[in-house]
Amino acid sequence: MKKTKVFIGEKVLGKNGFDIPLFKYVKKPVEILAARISAPFEVHTLEGIMKGRAGDWLIRGIEGEFYPCKHRVFKKTYEPGRIK
């Protein structure tokens, strides 16, 4: 079954001066592990060392990688999973 991309009518200007069309995608439902951290922290990520603030979340991604996530972003993106 072919997936359809939906053009949302917005474009961004690329470095080369050409418009880049933006398409709408929906994030797949993927389970992750996460903990809200109560103190400032540092974590080794795929991009190097990243800092998190008190109240941020520490997430283990689908490839086993770790990264910090701001609380407001976490609440918009994730919801508690069910225990099987």
- Cα distance between residue 15 and residue 48, in whole Å: 26
- Cα distance between residue 75 and residue 10, in whole Å: 26
- What mean pLDDT value characterizes the chain? 83
State pTM to two decimals: 0.69
The whole-number mean pLDDT for each consecutive block of 10 residues of the chain, a chain of 84 residues, reads 56 65 80 95 93 97 93 92 72
Which of 75, 61, 56 has the alpha carbon at shortest distance from 31? 61
